[in-house]
Each structure stands twice: as C-alpha cells, then as structure tokens.
Amino acid sequence: MAETGDPYSVAARRHDEREAQRLHAQNEATKAPMVRCPQCRQDEVHFDDQPWCPGCGTVWESGSELADEYAEEFLGLDWYTSIKDGGEEPTSDCSNCGEQAVVKIQPDDATFWTMKCMSCESLFNDRCTRCGAPIQHREEGDLIICTTCWDYVVSRP
Ligand SMILES: [Zn+2]
Ligand SMILES: [Zn+2]
Ligand SMILES: [Zn+2]
C-alpha cells in the first residue's frame, strides 16, 4: 500500500485522527483532577478509608482535615484570615456527604472539574449563584443553582 498517495487511506487516517482528538477531549472533560499531597507536594493523595499519601506516608484523620491543609498550602487560604478579613472561605460544605471538605483544586491540577470533596470524592466545577454552594455545571444553559435553592425557589407560593 502507498504511504500517503492513496486518497482512501489518507481520508481514513484523517478520520481516525479526528476521532482520537474527540475522544481525547472527552476524556479531558471527565478526568478527575489530581489531588497533590499538601505535605510533600510530590505524590497524589489516595482515597481509601482515610486519605493518605504514598510518597511521604501522611494519613489524614478526615477529608475535611485534608481539605483545610490543601487550601492553606496550595491556595493560601485559611479560616483565621477568612473570618478576620472576610476573605474567601478555604473549604465549602459538600452537598453529597455534608462534610465541609470541598476545596478548590489548584489551577495546575484542575481539569473540567475545579473543586473536589476530599471526603466523598464528589467533583464540582461551579458555585450556586444564590448561596455559593459547590455544584456540577455541565452545559451552557444549565441552571447555575443548587438543588437546595431550587427546592426553596419552587416551593415558594
Ligand atoms: Zn506526601
Ligand atoms: Zn462530599
Ligand atoms: Zn444554592
């Protein structure tokens, strides 16, 4: 078979390339962001019974403990400053598990998903425009409001 000449195989190859690109984009969109260890900054935190780092051996008591530490190390956010100066809160409540363990993923490691619950591993990428709770916003035109606010809005007379 000719290397590049035959028009059929060229077209087929182009098609395959486009398909590969499309699949790649799709994988990127659904890929979970990496959670870098806030202690050693090298390895990725593993989520078993408790979050732990295989690189330095750190084990966190809870997802919220890891979330607080992550926010402080990578985002420079802590509760003291947030409460004292009214800045951005380091972590948010998770609508799925109720833990205050949702933290913003540092920009280098974020994917389509920009926030993660360090307790139940739920992923989020936007905030409710009404109350600020982390929500999953997938498509243009999605309602950017959390289910709690939605229920409240629709239940009003
Ligand atoms: Zn580590
Ligand atoms: Zn959660
Ligand atoms: Zn809300």
Distance 44 CA to ligand 1 centre (A): 7
Q: Where are the domains of the chain?
A: 32-125
- pTM of whole model > 0.75? yes
pLDDT band of 21, cuts 50, 70, 90? confident
Q: How far is the CA of 94 from the centre of ligand 2 (A)?
A: 5
The alpha carbon of 47 and the centre of ligand 3 are apart by a number of angstroms equal to: 27
Higher per-residue confidence, 85 vs 20:
85
For residue 12, count other CB atoms closer than 10 A to its CB: 11
Q: What is the mean pLDDT of residues 50-76?
A: 97
Span from the CA of 131 to the centroid of ligand 1 (angstroms): 34
**pLDDT band at residue 29 under the 50/70/90 scheme:** low
The per-residue pLDDT for 12 is 85
Are 66 and 51 contacting, i.e. CB atoms less than 8 angstroms apart? yes
Residue 138 pLDDT? 79
pLDDT for res 28: 63
How far away, in angstroms, is 91 Cα from ligand 2 center?
A: 11
Nearest ligand to the CA atom of 70 = 1
